[in-house]
Amino acid sequence: MTGIELTVSPKAQNLNLGSSVQYTLTVTPRNGQTGTALLEVTGLPGNIDGQIAPSSLNLDGQTPQQATLTLTASLGGEPPNGPAGQRSAPSAHQFTVTATCGAATAADVASYTLITTGGIDAIIR
């Protein structure tokens, strides 16, 4: 049976508020799978933009193909301070990347930790 395998690397990264990080997406055809693999990212909040380039890969049945996922954290994102002005600890946020090629589908999960260095004063300056 044909199919595909999808790997996201690295599995986790720190993402600074107002900047970007990149992940490598590798789609490997299994048992001669050919066709166009469409890539999609889900599970990102509104303040995190996810762009995949290229968003589709041509599979030849044997050679792994790669794309790049770029996550960008806008400054209008999560508040850097918790309740009553207390700084909230960074936490990991998971997202899913899915590849679809014909009837074959594969998914992988990775994460980012949003880092808000310097608090709100650093953002305003």
CATH code: domain of residue 113: 2.60.40.10
Burial annotation 14-29 (CB, 10 A radius, 16+ → b, else e): ebebeeeeebebbbbb
The pTM (predicted TM-score) of the whole model is: 0.84
What are the pLDDT digits (tens) for 71-95? Answer: 999 986 444 444 444 455 678 999 9
pLDDT at 6 over 60: yes
The parent domain of residue 85 ranges over: 3-124
Give the number of domains in the chain: 1
Sign of CA dihedral 55, 59, 29, 103: positive
Query: Is the peptide bond between 90 and the residue preceding it cis, with omega within 30 degrees of 0?
Result: no
